[in-house]
């Protein structure tokens, strides 16, 4: 019997990617796509590339007995939605907002949301009922520095400079998302106080308790559609060979996160659920470059990866995607 999936908040970028993945997932059928603003309209009216491929229409009603619900709502809206809608005892929930990512916010109606970074919480995700899917920048940065935290090797501040594509801001039009502003342009935002820093620090402390140095994060807006390119560096007193072994061992069982011996570029991961990592050493500074697709490994792909683990499926089931390499 197939897993019946419901999607709440069906008109955004993450929901669109989720629909595209799940409609081809061999073990899933999409039961409903919920949207109050588009109820009654074909899903392909919004996600127009699906014309001729999908007969679903948006609905403003939920099926409370589906196997799994994906919450693709804006930050702060998932908790409100769950307070006003009840799902069956067997329904698993995967939330793509930041409402439940932090430990202090993780308990909801007696159930705990497990932080859904498989490279960190693989076994806990398998037995979880509720998952808090990580943020996109948080995913790229954590995958860059968690091996160092696992080795208790983060001794000084971590400096991060990362750039994301325009889809990271969502579908709502704003002064910094319209084409005329983005085209041939570049800017930073939320310097040193991005909301993903809290979950990054939480995960680092999970592996290296007592870490009190700063993670100095400078996020940038790029003039491209999708992808995250993150450069992180910090003090490292070992050799490059030792760093390579550390990362290789940490990700030895990871299905989607891989260490590259060659320098990496973003098109290697766009439209995939991969994270590629490259490391290099300059004197006593280790530079870790990590790249992901912000909508896939940074959102919907990772959500499906978590779903696969929760239902006992192969981790890469339905996620063997083709990169846009050229």
Report the catalytic residues: 136
- HEC secondary structure over the chain: CCEEEEEECCCCHHHHHHHHHHCCCCCEEEEEEECCCCCCCEHHHHCHHHCCCCCCEEECCCCCCCCEEEECCCCCHHHHHHHHCCCCCCCEEEECCCCCCCHHHCEECCEEEEECCHHHHHHHHHCCCEEECCCHHHHHHHHHHHHHHHCCCCCCCEEEEEEECHHHHCCCCCCCCCHHHHCCCCEECCCCCCCCHHHHHHHHHHHCCCCCCCEEEEEEECCCCCCEEEEEEEECCCCHHHHHHHHHHHCCCCCCEEECCCCCCHHHCCCCCCEEEEEEEECCEEEEEEEECCCCCCCHHHHHHHHHHHCCCCCCCCCCCCCCCC
Positive or negative torsion for Cα 9, 15, 20, 24: negative
Q: Which of 217, 218, 230 is nearest to 290 (CA)?
A: 230
CA angle 309, 114, 208 (to 5 degrees): 105
């Amino acid at each position: 019997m197939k897993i019946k999936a419901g999607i709440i908040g069906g008109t955004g970028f993450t929901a669109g990617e989720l629909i595209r993945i799940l409609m081809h997932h061999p073990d899933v059928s999409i039961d409903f796509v919920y949207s109050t603003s588009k109820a009654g309209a074909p899903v392909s009216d919004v996600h127009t590339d699906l014309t001729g491929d999908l007969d679903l229409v948006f609905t403003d009603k939920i099926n409370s007995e589906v196997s799994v619900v994906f919450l693709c709502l804006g930050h702060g809206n998932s908790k409100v939605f769950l307070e006003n809608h009840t799902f069956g005892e067997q329904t698993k929930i995967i939330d793509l907002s930041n409402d439940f990512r932090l430990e202090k916010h993780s308990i909801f109606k007696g159930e705990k949301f497990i932080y859904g970074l498989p490279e960190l919480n693989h076994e806990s995700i398998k037995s979880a009922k509720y998952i808090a899917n990580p943020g996109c920048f948080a995913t790229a940065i954590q995958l860059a520095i968690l091996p160092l935290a696992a080795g208790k090797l983060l001794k000084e501040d971590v400096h991060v400079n990362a750039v994301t594509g325009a889809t990271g801001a969502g579908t709502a039009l704003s002064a910094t998302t319209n084409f005329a502003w983005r085209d041939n342009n570049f800017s930073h935002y939320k310097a040193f106080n991005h909301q993903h820093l809290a979950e990054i620090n939480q995960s680092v402390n999970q592996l290296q308790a007592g870490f009190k140095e700063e993670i100095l994060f400078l996020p940038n807006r790029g003039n491209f559609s999708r992808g995250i390119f993150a450069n992180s560096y910090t003090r490292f007193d070992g050799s490059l060979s030792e760093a390579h072994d550390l990362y290789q061992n940490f990700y030895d069982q990871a299905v989607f996160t891989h260490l590259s011996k060659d320098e990496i570029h973003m098109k290697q991961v766009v439209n995939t659920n991969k994270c590629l990592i490259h490391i290099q050493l300059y004197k006593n500074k280790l530079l870790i470059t990590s790249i992901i697709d912000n909508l896939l490994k940074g959102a919907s792909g990772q959500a499906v990866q978590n779903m696969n683990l929760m239902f006992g499926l192969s981790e890469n089931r339905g996620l063997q995607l083709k990169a846009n390499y050229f």
